[in-house]
Chains A and B, each alone.
Chain A
Amino acid sequence: MTRMTSADLALLLDTHGAEPRRWPQNHRLQAELLVEADPEARALWQQARARDQRVATLLTVRDDERRTSSALIGRVIAHVAARRQEWVFRPGRRLAAAACALVIVGFVAGGLVASYEASLNQEPALLALEITYDDGGVL
């Protein structure tokens, strides 16, 4: 078994934190011996423990927060009821949206056909305009 170094301990602290009971069984004894014997390793561990305490102060959920208030239960149930209603009506909404889309496509397509037909009827008139213009240009 190779001896644990301070660098190994630093990696162990970054991976598992400073609490020895969270260290993997196969590294714990060596790490604890190193912390006991080596002042540099002990300083590393103490600094990691101080950092962990700060982070724990900020991230640990308090007991009073763990209890779910009846107001929160009520809001969650109301939210789920509203979402269920949306869920139930969703197929109907999709059908309505598809019908609307079809009507719009119908209007647009009808308009395009109508304007195309109108443009066909206008072509002789446009030609006549060009002729008039040409004649004017020659004169």
Chain B
Amino acid sequence: MDLSSDPDAALMVAIAAGDQRAFADLVRRHGGRLRAVCLRFLGNAADAEEIVQETFWTIWRTAARYEPRGARVSTFLHRIALNRCIDRDRRRRIRRLVGLEEAAEIEDPTVDQETDLAVRTRLAAVRADIAELPARQRAALLLAVESEKPTAEIATVLGVSVGAAEQLLVRARRTLREKLARREPDPEGTP
């Protein structure tokens, strides 16, 4: 990949040279979406923002090492952010397991209050199912659904082979399907 095919690559070169305006531009281009993706993964706005801040700090420090011929900058950003999300999720699960932390309510950034109560209840159940998925399966599903990324790019973001990324998606979808089938024997057509 060259600088012309990814507009962010030129920003990375400028950031590596200490250009703060380029840095602000990169944050403007990706910050909002990255925060929303982290929020969907973690279910907590404060945690999501912290991850975004740390992700951009990593970008500021390591921009010089960014290789434009490698992955796109947005892929690079997702990789840093989601790996941090996965780490945080694991620590949180361990803390819950040993009783140092209670399960927090998952924040809902998607469904407005005007949506029908029955629909909201069904969606809340699916949200809980997604939250219970192992972290890497959840990350793979999020990338596939939210960003519509091809499996090869999901594999790059998660640092696994394409086959392993496919396995993560298969397990995630299978788990959701089985849980839904237990709850609602015939879910077809219901939102």
Binding site for B on A (CB under 8 A): 11, 13-17, 22, 43, 46-48, 50-62, 65-69, 72-73, 75-77, 79-80, 83-84, 87
Distance of A68 Cα from B29 Cα, bound (Å): 7
Q: Given A14-B173, A15-B170, A58-B127, A72–B110 Cβ distance below 8 Å?
A: no
- Residues of B contacting A75 in the complex (Cβ-Cβ under 8 angstroms): 49, 53
Q: Is the CB of A50 within 8 A of B189?
A: yes
- Residues of B contacting A13 in the complex (Cβ-Cβ under 8 angstroms): 173
The answer to the question of B169 belonging to the interface, with a C-beta cut-off of 8 Å to chain A, is yes
Pick the residue among B27, B109, B127, B169 that contacts A65 (CB under 8 A): B109
Q: Given A15-B169, A72-B49, A22–B148 Cβ distance below 8 Å?
A: yes
**How many A-B contacts are there with CB distance less than 8 Å?**
128
Flag the segment in B77-85, B92-100, B174-182 that touches A.
B174-182
Kindly report which residue of chain A lies nearest to residue B110, judged by CB atoms. A58
Closest beta carbon of chain A to B59's beta carbon, Å: 9
Classify the secondary structure of A's interface with B.
Answer: helix
Q: Given A50-B189, A54-B126, A79-B53, A72–B169 Cβ distance below 8 Å?
A: no
Q: Is the CB of A57 within 8 A of B187?
A: no
Given contacts A22-B150, A47-B177, A72-B32, 5 further A-B contacts (CB under 8 A): A57-B110, A57-B123, A58-B123, A59-B141, A80-B53
Considering only residues 141-191 of chain B, those with a C-beta below 8 Å from chain A are: 141-142, 144-146, 148, 150-151, 166, 169-170, 173-174, 176-177, 180, 187-191
Distance of A109 Cα from B96 Cα, bound (Å): 43
Kindly report which residue of chain B lies nearest to residue A24, judged by CB atoms. B151
Flag the segment in B5-13, B34-42, B65-73 that touches A.
B34-42
Q: Is the CB of A67 within 8 A of B173?
A: no
Q: Is the CB of B31 within 8 A of A76?
A: yes
Q: Is the CB of A14 within 8 A of B177?
A: yes
The answer to the question of B16 belonging to the interface, with a C-beta cut-off of 8 Å to chain A, is no
Q: Is the CB of B23 within 8 A of A80?
A: yes
Q: Is the CB of A14 within 8 A of B57?
A: no
- Residues of B contacting A46 in the complex (Cβ-Cβ under 8 angstroms): 188-189
Closest beta carbon of chain B to A62's beta carbon, Å: 8
- Identify which of A61, A66, A67 gathers the most chain B CB atoms within 10 Å of its CB: A61
Q: Given A15-B170, A55-B176, A75-B49, A65–B56 Cβ distance below 8 Å?
A: no
